Homo-oligomer: A and B are copies of this chain.
């Protein structure tokens, strides 16, 4: 059994929606990024890479490369899921924490879990999305951006 952890940040900018954990949410700001700025999926993608020593998301999908512009981040997560499967890994659970004052995550939690479960190929009960604020402290508290923390557990055959 192996565990990976991931962390990611995206800054708010003008816009009318954010995409978090694979779900588009109406919001009075957008997220600045070369991709769709889905910090939740980026942190989880990195956590999966972390279980197999497969570098990080910036390594596989360089932000300088125009082909990843405005990219749907589920593409990144699918890549990490495929690499883990290739190595014989079976994902037993995934846990994402979104750190922001807004948007409210609760109303979208189950849609996020369903979307992630589908991509990870596991039951929804094994997928967790949590939210917390930083109590108005730091850059997330000042609403300058969103941070995400993720962990993923993977069991490998015969280890």
Which A residues are within 8 Å of any B CB, using their own CB?
1-11, 32, 42, 46-47, 49-59, 92-93, 95, 97, 99, 106, 109, 113, 124-128, 130-139, 141, 144-145, 147, 149-151, 153, 155, 159
Q: Would B58 and A131 count as touching, CB distance under 8 A? A: yes
Q: Would B59 and A106 count as touching, CB distance under 8 A? A: yes
Q: Would A2 and B144 count as touching, CB distance under 8 A? A: no
- Nearest 3 CB-CB pairings of A with B: A56-B130, A50-B95, A2-B93
* Chain A to chain B contacts (Cβ below 8 Å), 23 pairs: A2-B93, A3-B93, A3-B153, A5-B5, A5-B97, A5-B150, A6-B132, A7-B132, A11-B135, A11-B136, A50-B97, A50-B128, A50-B130, A51-B93, A51-B128, A53-B124, A55-B109, A56-B130, A56-B131, A58-B106, A135-B145, A137-B145, A139-B141
